[in-house]
Structure 1
Amino acid sequence: MRLENKVAIVTGVSKGIGFATVKMLLNKGCKVAGWGRTAPDIADNNFYFYKTDVRDIEEVNLAYENTVKDLGEDIAILVNNAGLGYEGGIEDLDPKLWRQMFETNVDGIFYCSRLVIPKMKRNDEGHIINISSIAGNTGIPSMSAYCATKHAVTGLSHSMYKELRSFGIKVTCIYPGSVKTNFFDEIDSVEVNDSMMMPEDIASTIIHCLESQANYHHVDIEVRPLKPKK
């Protein structure tokens, strides 16, 4: 896909992977709608921020309506990046945190994707990127709830790509290992360090997928730091 003048929606844009992805899309000439709870420090005429909590379907619907009003309905790209994780044993985790993770990491993808797909189908073009985690491919002690949400993202992404591929819509699921972001603010067992990948690394992978030729489809991409801190 040629990215110049394409309209993209990115969720979870205040920091980290979402922020880096917005910057790279803007550099490629995209018009970008950023959906998030906190506005990022981005000053660009092609960037539009809409305060949105992806757990709330009404807020998502309103963000979509305003995006279409400002940028048009030909949305070619959706990056489902918003996500969070909490640590806790299966018998100790507060059920409210379990629900918050599922509402953000899984429900949010459904709420956002369902809105852009009809027009993508009519245009015979579109690319939906779902940001998962290596937790979507394995189990991690004291992270059972987070792993459960990311396994759900895997199943959802695989079903989406099989449903949508014949309509010219690509669905790519990316599984990062540790990335140096604020994600680990709530994870006491992990210390953020320079051996982790950087948000820009993941953003560059997203751009690589988006710019692939029309009949070339990245379905699953797992990325990890080469030399993680022991």
Structure 2
Amino acid sequence: MELKGKIAVVTGVSKGIGLATVEALLEKGAKVAGWGRTKPDLEHQNFHFFECDVRHHESVQQAFDNTIATLGKPIQVLVNNAGLGIAGLLEDMSLDDWHTMFETNVNGIFYCTRLVVLGMKEMGEGHIINISSIAGTTGVAQMSGYCGTKHAVRGISHSLYKEVRDYGVKVTCIYPGSVNTSFFDNIDTVTVSDNMMRPQDIASTILHALESHPNYHQVDIEVRPLMPKGRKQK
């Protein structure tokens, strides 16, 4: 897809992968609508922030309506990036924390995608990027809720691409390993380090998928840091 002039929506844009993706899309000349609870520290003539909490379908609908009113239509790119993880043993997990993860990581993808996919099918072009996690391919101790949500993202992505591929619409699910972001701020079992991937690395992967040939479809992309514990000494 040629990104110049295209309209792209990115969720969870305040920092980290979301912000890096917005910046990468802007460099390619796209018009970007950022949906999130917190406005990022970014000023650009082609960037428009719309306050949105993806846990609530009314909030997503309002952000969608405001995006169409401001940028026009159709929306050609959707990056479902908004997400969070809360650590804890399953039996210790509060109902609120469990629901917050599923409402954000799973329901949010449904609320956002359902609004853009029809327009993509009608114009015969579009690309939906869903950010899952390595946790969406395996189990992680004390992360059962988070793993459950990211497995759901994988299942949604695989089903959706089979529904829309014949209309020329792509769905790509990305599974990052550890990325140096604020995701781990409240997870005591992980120490953030420079050995993790950078948000810009994930953004570059997203661009690579978006800019691929119309008949070339990357369904799953798994990315990891090469040396998560640093370079081994001889």
User: What TM-score does the superposition give when structure 2 sets the normalisation length?
Assistant: 0.98
Residues 1-230 of structure 1: pairs in structure 2 closer than 5 A: 1-229=1-229
The one-letter code matched in structure 1 to 2:199 is P
Identity %: 65
Per-residue CA shift, 1:155-209, capped at 9, x if unaligned? 0000000001011110000000000000001111101000000000000000000
SS at match of 2:91: coil
SS at match of 1:9: strand
Per-residue CA shift, 1:101-148, capped at 9, x if unaligned? 000000000000000011111100000000000000000000000000
SS at match of 1:75: coil
Per-residue CA shift, 1:55-107, capped at 9, x if unaligned? 01000000000000011121100000000000000111111100000000000
Provide the C-alpha distance between the structure 2 equivalents of 1:52 and 1:186, rounded to a whole number of angstroms: 23
Provide the C-alpha distance between the structure 2 equivalents of 1:106 and 1:186, rounded to a whole number of angstroms: 20
CA shift, 1:13, in A, is: 0.1
SS at match of 2:90: coil
CA shift, 1:229, in A, is: 1.8
SS at match of 2:92: coil
CA shift, 1:43, in A, is: 0.6
The one-letter code matched in structure 1 to 2:216 is Y
Per-residue CA shift, 1:18-45, capped at 9, x if unaligned? 0000000000000000000000011100
SS at match of 2:84: coil
SS at match of 1:127: strand
The one-letter code matched in structure 2 to 1:26 is L
The one-letter code matched in structure 2 to 1:74 is P
CA shift, 1:8, in A, is: 0.0
Provide the C-alpha distance between the structure 2 equivalents of 1:87 and 1:191, rounded to a whole number of angstroms: 14
SS at match of 1:84: coil
CA shift, 1:15, in A, is: 0.4
Stretches of structure 2 that go unaligned for 5 or more consecutive residues are: none
Stretches of structure 1 that go unaligned for 5 or more consecutive residues are: none
Root-mean-square deviation over aligned CA pairs: 0.6
Provide the C-alpha distance between the structure 1 equivalents of 2:224 and 2:186, rounded to a whole number of angstroms: 21
Provide the C-alpha distance between the structure 2 equivalents of 1:34 and 1:200, rounded to a whole number of angstroms: 17
Provide the C-alpha distance between the structure 1 equivalents of 2:183 and 2:229, rounded to a whole number of angstroms: 17
SS at match of 2:39: coil
The one-letter code matched in structure 2 to 1:117 is V
The one-letter code matched in structure 2 to 1:69 is A
